[in-house]
Structure 1
Amino acid sequence: MSASASGPAAAFARRYGASPLHLLLILASFALALYAGVRLLKGDTIGVAIWFVGAALLHDLVLLPLYSVTDRAAQLLLHGRPDTSGGAPRPGVNHLRVPSFISGVLFLVYWPLILQKGGHYTAYTDLSADGFLARWLLITAGLFLASAILWTVRTWLRLRPERKAAKARAHAQARARKATK
């Protein structure tokens, strides 16, 4: 047994389940979250609490079931049967998940401007708020297009050895037929 495997850090890792650096980073993140919470609640405490509870309820009661059903439908659409193995997610579905997630985050960040509800944007920035919907739609279309191209290339590369083997079998059968004639 080496000296490093039996030192105090190894004993801490066995007892805690991770390295001391992990504990330090977790404590630092909690401290940062606590600081942000204290700063946030210095203003309208009731309004922030209502917004936080409303956001949690909206996510848990509306959005989570919605994107769970959508994900399950995408899996059925791409493969025709549900994944009963409980294994890793199907790679084809990920080519829908990633652009959907990025597009959703962009919508979440810019929804007032996309839906033209950001009245103060022009006053604060002296920039026009027009065109956010068109740009978001173009970015979303570009993300799905890039994902479709990547999926096509990956599928083509994965199936290439199978096509080569099928061609070799066809040539061997053709040669066998010519040899028997």
Structure 2
Amino acid sequence: MSRFPRWYGANPLHLLVLICSLAVTGYACVRLFAQRPVEVAIWLVGAAVLHDLILLPLYSLADLSARSVLRHRARHMPTPAWINYLRVPSFLSGVLLLVWFPLIFRLPGPYRGATGLTDAIYIGRWLAVTAILFGLSALLFALKLGRIHRQAPGGEAQPPRAPRQPSSTG
């Protein structure tokens, strides 16, 4: 068993989870293709084209722009990997927008009957959730930054300063 991680590259639990996820994905594909094969194939090709030709260049450009704008900092001060504190809330907000865009942008559809709510509330709620995500991310970044700056340059935490003792030769 000690040779398995060297041969496979990870522990056996990783392989088991990978096989289970592939089995679930295969089952879903078989069920979907059995009912609507043409629509599923069009959706998969469209999703790949949309992601690779439109979305990937857009969020790569956004990431590059954020790095170039925010790269100016004091060189002597250590900082955590700040870009992830922008990437995670941006990703989560984007996924929410992708899932709920018909309701957020008030597109016509059968959604009102399904939810029982008017479509006027979704944009405000999405913006509120996005603001909360970025606020929590900023708070976590500030806490991480504070913890880093409390540490000494060598990486060890600085002990609290002892009060000065009066000298006896005075």
TM bin, normalised by shorter chain, reads 0.7 to 0.9
CA RMSD of aligned residues (A): 2.7
Among 46, 55, 68, the alignment partner of 1:54 is: 46
SS at match of 1:119: coil
> Do residues 71 (structure 1) and 101 (structure 2) align?
no
Say which is worse superposed, 41-50 or 122-131, in terms of deviation: 122-131
2:116 alignment partner, one of 111, 114, 126 = 126
**Aligned residue in 1 for 2:155:** none
Give the TM-score of the pair, scaled to structure 1. Answer: 0.70
Matched, 1:40 2:35: no
Structure 2 Cα separation of the partners of residues 161 and 32 of structure 1: 46
Q: Could you tell me whether the CA contact under 8 Å between 1:99 and 1:144 is conserved in 2?
A: yes
Aligned-residue sequence identity (percent) comes to 48
Contact 1:113 1:132 (8 Å CA) reproduced: yes
- Deviation digits for residues 65-100 of structure 1, max 9, x if unmatched? 11111111111111149xxxxxxxx62222211211
Please list every run of 5 or more consecutive structure 1 residues that lacks an aligned counterpart in the other structure: 1-8, 82-89, 163-181
Alignment: residue pair count? 149
Distance in 2, Cα, partners of 1:117 & 1:25: 39
Structure with greater proportional helix content = 1
Match of 2:140 in 1: 150
Cα pair distance change 1:43/1:76, threshold 3 Å = same
Work out which of the two has the higher radius of gyration on C-alpha atoms and give 1 or 2.
1
Q: Does 1:15 align with 2:13?
A: no
**Unpaired runs of 5+ in structure 2?**
74-79, 153-170
TM-score by length of 2: 0.74
Q: Partners in 2 of 1:79 and 1:21 — Cα distance?
A: 40
